[in-house]
Amino acid sequence: MSDEFMESTSGGPKLPALKFAKVGDTHTGTVTEVTKLQDKDPAGNVKTYDNGDPRWVFVFTLDTPTGASNLWVRGQMVKAIREAAEKAGVKTLVGSTLSVRYTGDGEKKSAAFNAPKLYAAKVEAPKNDASAEMW
């Protein structure tokens, strides 16, 4: 996969963030932009892995029925979206329709943290405009 999902480092537009409050919550929209940022904790400190490598977060801007919104993609959601993109055979997510559903909670591994949320995703390739082929 080669697109902004893998390469971008700039900040994205400041839009409302999509939330997954309860199991079954689903958000669908057309991907208009993907931005890759270094992940930060609530205090603004850059998050890193134990070996010092930076943690990344992807910000997907989606055109949804209620307007443009941001989907902050990290953790298991990254894997779900990548698998869905591969299944759909898309090389870029911009222009594709993306649906993400909160499917449940994973195993809680530490008393200090909540159990990780689990997601399923579906990617639909952009529909080609066949009007040029009419002539």
- Residue 116 belongs to domain spanning: 4-126
Whole-prediction pTM: 0.81
Distance CA 59, CA 93 (A): 12
Task: Report phi then psi at 47, rounded to 5.
Answer: -85, 140
Question: Tens digits of per-residue pLDDT, 88-107?
Answer: 999 899 999 999 999 999 99
85 domain-assigned: yes
Question: Tens digits of per-residue pLDDT, 37-77?
Answer: 999 988 989 999 999 999 999 999 999 999 999 999 999 99
3-36 in b/e burial notation, b at 16+ Cβ within 10 A?
Answer: bbbeebeeebeeeeebebeeeeeebebbbebbbb
According to the model, what pLDDT value does residue 127 have? 80
CATH of the domain at 18: 2.40.50
* Mean pLDDT rounded to a whole number for the chain: 88
88 domain-assigned: yes
133 domain-assigned: no
109 domain-assigned: yes
132 domain-assigned: no
71 domain-assigned: yes
47 domain-assigned: yes
Number of domains comprising the chain: 1
Band of residue 21 on the pLDDT scale cut at 50, 70, 90: very high
134 domain-assigned: no
